[in-house]
Amino acid sequence: MTSRTPATATGARGSAFAGASGGDPSGIRDEPTRPQDATANGLGSGSVPVTGITVTRHLAAAERHASLTADVRAGLTANPRELPPKWFYDATGSLLFDRITRLPEYYPTRREHAVLAANAARIATACPATTLIELGSGTSEKTRLLLDALRNAGVLRRFVPFDVDEETLLRAGQEILRSYPGTSVHAVVGDFERHLAFLPGSASGDSGSAGGVAADRRLVAFLGGTIGNLRPETRGTFLRALRDQFHDGDALLLGTDLVKDPARLVAAYDDSAGVTAAFNRNVLSVINRELDADFDLRGFAHVAAWDPENSWIEMRLRSVREQEVSVRALGLVTRFGADEQMRTEISAKFTLEGIRAELAAAGLGTSAQWTDPDGDFALTLAVPA
Ligand code: SAH
Ligand code: AVI
């Protein structure tokens, strides 16, 4: 249904998980949406000029607003309170994350880069994909190693970055288009917890040939350890939903951070320059701006703690005093007690066997697994079992 002519709409809608679980585990009622596909040749959104790339929006302004509204209402009225990490990522949040990746304490990006650099050619040989899809793509910086390997193998035809943050997504898509002439770029603005069913080339997405890519073989990269930001049950649902989209020949390349010394882990999430603290508080700025709230960012302290039982780092925001917050778009006024903590992210750390077991439970067989020399970070290549 995707078209290379301007502003055609598709009728695709629904939850990626509907078939797998019978409901949307995010708790968001799935509003019928009309994702818009357009070969953008003007302004895609905000001030990001998009030229020559195809854009599908599952999270246009209205859907984003509805989804944020539902999450914030549920999260602020829960006990204990909790906000999903996906809302860190407006343009500022993505910029802060990018700064985190360059911090001395934050090793995962450098380690994953090393694993990719050492193994990208092997990955391209194992899965000579015509389409590289990247979930939670952000700036797609490390992804260039995969794009280079697939291009060198002479197979690459299309890149599909997929992210909730439209501005960063379109900017990255444009840069990739410039760097890889002859490769088409199809950016998808969406939530990988809800919109997986519409991946280009999947049964409910485009047919694979409509985007000019026939006999499509897809490599889905999910890098950075972002899968660790999902709870274990949500990870299972996510992996099964992805497995359901796979055809023979498709593969998943999964990046995961590995269990290690808790002191290193905590330092990676509580850096001395305070960038992670600013990233954590950014979710409050997003709510202030998009839901007309009045969170005082100075009233919330950054907390990073290792939870050995769950094998994850938790980020929280601690209310430094008793305070009242009003979220006008929700008609909600709520009180935070002094020292009350609100969870904003989990970041799970894995073992190699644990990853293989989670993939197997979702019907995915591990065909290769690599780590950096220090065993800090893993890449796993998995195919339908
Ligand atoms: N893959 C990049 C970026 C990781 S940061 C890297 O390895 O460095 C996590 C990215 O996932 C952000 O760009 C964020 O906007 C995106 N993201 C987070 N939750 C998401 C969701 N539910 N659906 C789609 N994208 C999401
Ligand atoms: C995107 N994700 C894998 C990062 C992580 O490490 O869990 C987000 C992050 N949170 C704090 N620092 C980085």
Beta-sheet strands, E only, within the chain = 8-9, 36-39, 43-45, 48-49, 54-57, 131-135, 158-163, 184-189, 218-222, 251-257, 300-307, 312-319, 323-327, 332-336, 341-348, 364-371, 377-384
363 token code pair: 């019907």
Helix (H) or strand (E) holding 179: helix 166-179
Predicted local distance difference test score (pLDDT) of residue 37: 53
Helices (H), 101-164: 108-126, 143-152
Ligand 1 atom nearest to CA at 89: 15
Compute the distance from residue 280 Cα to the ligand 2 centre, in Å.
10
Residue identified by tokens 């979710």 is: 283
Residue identified by tokens 């039982």 is: 309
Residue 223 CB partners (closer than 8 Å, separation 6+)? 112, 116, 134, 136, 142, 143, 253, 255
Residue 52 CB partners (closer than 8 Å, separation 6+)? 39, 41, 177, 185
Compute the distance from residue 136 Cα to the ligand 1 centre, in Å.
3
Residue 37 pairs in a beta bridge with 8, 56
Compute the distance from residue 160 Cα to the ligand 1 centre, in Å.
14
Compute the distance from residue 138 Cα to the ligand 1 centre, in Å.
6
Angle formed by the axes of helices 352-361 and 232-245, to 10°?
A: 60
Question: pLDDT of 260-316, one tens digit each?
Answer: 999 999 999 999 999 999 999 999 999 999 999 999 999 999 999 999 999 999 999
**Residues 235, 227: contact at Cβ < 8 Å?**
yes
The binding-site residues of ligand 1, defined as CB within 6 angstroms of any ligand atom, are 86, 89, 94, 97, 101, 109, 136-138, 142, 163-165, 191-193, 223-224, 226
Ligand nearest to the CA of 145: 1
Question: pLDDT of 6-22, one tens digit each?
Answer: 222 232 323 333 222 22
Ligand nearest to the CA of 109: 1
Compute the distance from residue 365 Cα to the ligand 2 centre, in Å.
26
Predicted local distance difference test score (pLDDT) of residue 38: 52
Ligand 1 pocket test: which of 57, 144, 164, 377 has the largest number of ligand atoms within 8 Å of its C-beta? Answer: 164
The binding-site residues of ligand 2, defined as CB within 6 angstroms of any ligand atom, are 100, 108, 224-226, 228-229, 269, 276, 279, 345, 347
Residues of the chain with pLDDT under 50: 1-35, 39-47, 207-212, 214
Ligand nearest to the CA of 116: 1
Predicted local distance difference test score (pLDDT) of residue 201: 83
Compute the distance from residue 333 Cα to the ligand 1 centre, in Å.
30
Predicted local distance difference test score (pLDDT) of residue 215: 72
Calculate ∠ Cα 347-113-116, nearest 5°.
105
Ligand nearest to the CA of 277: 2
Considering only CA atoms, which residue is closest to atom 11 of ligand 2? 269
Which residues line the annotated binding site?
A: 106, 136, 142, 163, 191-192, 229, 269, 345-347
Considering only CA atoms, which residue is closest to atom 17 of ligand 1? 136
**Residues 158, 213: contact at Cβ < 8 Å?**
yes
Compute the distance from residue 190 Cα to the ligand 2 centre, in Å.
19
Considering only CA atoms, which residue is closest to atom 8 of ligand 1? 224
Residue 82 CB partners (closer than 8 Å, separation 6+)? 75, 342, 343, 344
* Domains along the chain with CATH numbers: 1-293+349-385 (3.40.50.150)
Residue identified by tokens 């008609």 is: 331
pTM of the prediction? 0.90
